[in-house]
């Protein structure tokens, strides 16, 4: 059942539609990923803003396909992943999200954001996200080339509670992102602390700015 949220700073009613269809990450697919830093009391407004932006991107020249909105468990990050056909569509998405009206809608709730274009470099295990699932997820940004992270294949697949993980690399392969899918969040954290993960990925940023346990808020077909 949709629930209405009113962004009190903008006085704009926006519908949340929690849930959505099961989403699958296909190999070599292009994804726009925006990681948004918000004040904890603005997380709902950030979710609402990105739901609206994605809905508009689906009917614009960006021609957005399957998408997902995630929220960190500490309510300090909203993460949007949008499946696009290629670079030209990403240009349209970036341009439309930065036009005057959408920019004000987007940045009214964001302390900062980082939009970049990624390709699915590798999928380990189950490459689906189900909003109805009780499994745990985490998102991580790493300043390594995706090629260097392929060595993670064996240790992540052998980890306790592992369900799946998707590795994304930026179009210039200057950075990567991983979306983890385990049975429990403690199992993701335990895997991330293993010697193998530390050797390949490096330590988790002590500030918590690169690794976030997340909830799947909404998916779009």
pLDDT tens-digit map of 11-57: 333 444 568 899 999 999 999 999 988 888 888 888 988 898 898 89
User: Which sequence spans correspond to the domains of the chain?
Assistant: 3-220
Q: What is the C-alpha separation between 72 and 212, in angstroms, rounded?
A: 6
3-220 folds as Alpha-Beta Plaits (3.30.70)
Q: What is the C-alpha separation between 142 and 136, in angstroms, rounded?
A: 20
> Which backbone phi and psi does 25 adopt, to 5 degrees?
-95, 110
Summarize pLDDT for 161-215 with one digit per residue, the tens.
Answer: 999 999 999 988 789 999 999 999 999 999 999 999 999 999 888 656 789 999 9
What is each CA distance from 68 to 20, 90, 107, in whole angstroms?
Answer: 9, 16, 19
Q: Is the pLDDT of residue 3 over 50?
A: no
């Amino acid at each position: 059942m949709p629930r209405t949220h009113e962004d009190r700073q903008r006085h704009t009613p926006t519908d949340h539609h929690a849930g959505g269809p099961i989403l699958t990450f296909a190999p070599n697919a292009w994804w726009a990923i925006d990681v948004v830093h918000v004040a904890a009391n603005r997380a709902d407004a950030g979710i609402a803003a990105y739901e609206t932006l994605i809905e508009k991107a689906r009917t614009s020249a960006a021609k957005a396909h399957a998408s997902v909105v995630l929220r960190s468990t500490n309510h300090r990050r909203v993460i949007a992943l949008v499946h696009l056909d290629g670079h030209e569509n990403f240009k349209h998405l970036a341009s439309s999200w930065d036009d005057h009206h959408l920019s004000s809608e987007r940045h009214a709730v964001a302390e900062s954001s980082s939009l970049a274009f990624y390709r699915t470099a590798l999928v380990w295990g189950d490459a689906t996200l189900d909003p109805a699932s009780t499994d745990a997820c985490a998102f991580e940004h790493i300043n390594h080339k995706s090629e260097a992270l392929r060595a993670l294949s064996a240790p992540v697949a052998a980890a306790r509670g592992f369900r799946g993980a998707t590795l994304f690399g930026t179009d210039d392969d200057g950075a990567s992102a991983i979306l983890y899918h385990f049975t429990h969040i403690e199992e993701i954290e335990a895997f991330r602390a293993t010697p193998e993960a530390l050797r390949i990925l490096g330590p988790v940023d002590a500030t918590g700015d690169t690794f976030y346990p997340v909830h799947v808020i909404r998916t779009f077909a």
